[in-house]
Amino acid sequence: MDSPAVVPPPAVILIEDIVRPDQPFHQHIDHVYFTRSLHQVDFAHPIPHGPSHWFTAEELAESFSLPAPDGTLVPVAEDVRLLGLRALIAAQQEP
> How confident is the chain (95 residues) per 10-residue block, as mean pLDDT?
86 92 94 85 76 86 91 92 91 75
- The length of the chain is 95
Residues 76, 68 contacting (CB under 8 angstroms): no
pLDDT at 25: 96
Report which of 38, 37, 29 is spatially closest to residue 10, judged by C-alpha positions. 29
pLDDT at 60: 94
- The C-alpha angle 6, 8, 41, rounded to 5 degrees, equals 110
Rounded to 5 degrees, what are φ and ψ at 31?
-95, 115
Question: Measured between alpha carbons, how far is 16 from 28 in angstroms, rounded to an integer?
Answer: 5
pTM score over 0.85 = no
